[in-house]
Structure 1
Amino acid sequence: MTPQQLTDRVREICLRFPEGAERITHGSPGFFVRKQFVMLWPHGHHGRDEPHLWAAAAAGVQDEVVGADPERFFVPPYVGGRGWVGMRLDGEVDWDEVAEICEDAYRHIAPPRLLRDLDR
């Protein structure tokens, strides 16, 4: 998958959430709902050559997913200390799982009013 195709897929997922927005940050697409909930690195970043994303996550999720599958998930730099999860997007990508990770990130960041809109 090309970097543009990858960006288009993640964009399609993240912009379907109420008040989801995209802004370029640090040279790559970031997805926001007032605050950032997903960061996409379609060309790799910080020593990781493969495309990947970083997603906000609730307490304990990072340990759970990285512990269960350290080949696909990792602790990202900068935001890993706040519990964010890194996910590789090379090889066979499970897009349902990517959508789930992005939705969980949105739910972690979005205010309650927007979560009610999402659940309608």
Structure 2
Amino acid sequence: MEPEPHPMMFPADHPLVERVRALCMRYPEAAEVISHGRCTFRAGKRQFALVGVYDQGAIVFIPDPLERDALLERDDVFVPPYEGAYGWLAISVDSASGPWDLVEELLDASYRRVALVRQLRALDADPVVPVVE
């Protein structure tokens, strides 16, 4: 008997999920995987971001260790309940107002923390262009 799947915490067409998907899927070998009811984004098999439901909407990411303390001084950045034990942080995000320029930087740093050498080479050869509006 297979276990019951986790209920989806966000619909796949939620504006926040769609915006994060558009940002994450630009990276080499990026994949979207539904895990524990949430949309996660991976560099191959390694997860680098997920859309959470903390504070109405948040993006969970792996911070650059040198930026972690500065990020935690922001009012919109926090340690998420489960992933925080593994060094991850989350940023509260409004799907309309962002802060999307910062989110793009955080996702890029998170991807680079888990990507394989070949993925980084592909990224450096064809960099992701920011899409901040």
Q: Which of 16, 32, 50 pairs up with 1:22?
A: 32
Alignment of 1:111 onto 2:116? yes
Q: Contact conserved, 2:60 with 2:88, CA < 8 A, in 1?
A: yes
Q: Which residue of 2 aligns with 1:36?
A: 47
1:56 equivalenced with 2:62 (yes/no): yes
Q: Tell me, which stretches of 5 or more residues in structure 1 are unaligned?
A: none
| Residue 78 (str. 1) matches residue 82 (str. 2) | yes
Tell me which residue corresponds to 2:101: 96
Query: What's the counterpart of residue 11 of structure 1?
Result: 21
Question: In the alignment, what sits opposite 2:129?
Answer: none
- TM superposition outliers: structure 1 runs of 4+ over 4 Å: none
Q: Deviations over 1:2-57 (max 9, x none)?
A: 9711111100100000000001111010001121110102xx2xxx3420011012
- Aligned-residue offset at 1:78: 1.9
TM-score, normalised on structure 1?
0.84
RMSD across aligned positions (CA): 1.8
The 2-side partners of 1:57 and 1:111 are apart by 17
Q: C-alpha distance in 1, partners of 2:55/2:118?
A: 38
2 CA distance for matches of 1:8 and 1:108? 23
Aligned partner letter, 1:83: G
Whether contact under 8 Å (2:55, 2:92) holds in the other structure is: no
Which piece of structure 1 moves more, 94-103 or 104-113? 94-103
Distance 1:59 1:95 in 2: 21
C-alpha separation in 2, matches of 1:49 and 1:94: 15
Normalised to the residue count of structure 2, the TM-score between the two structures is 0.76
Paired-residue identity, % = 35
Amino acid at match of 1:9: R
Q: Which has the larger radius of gyration?
A: 2
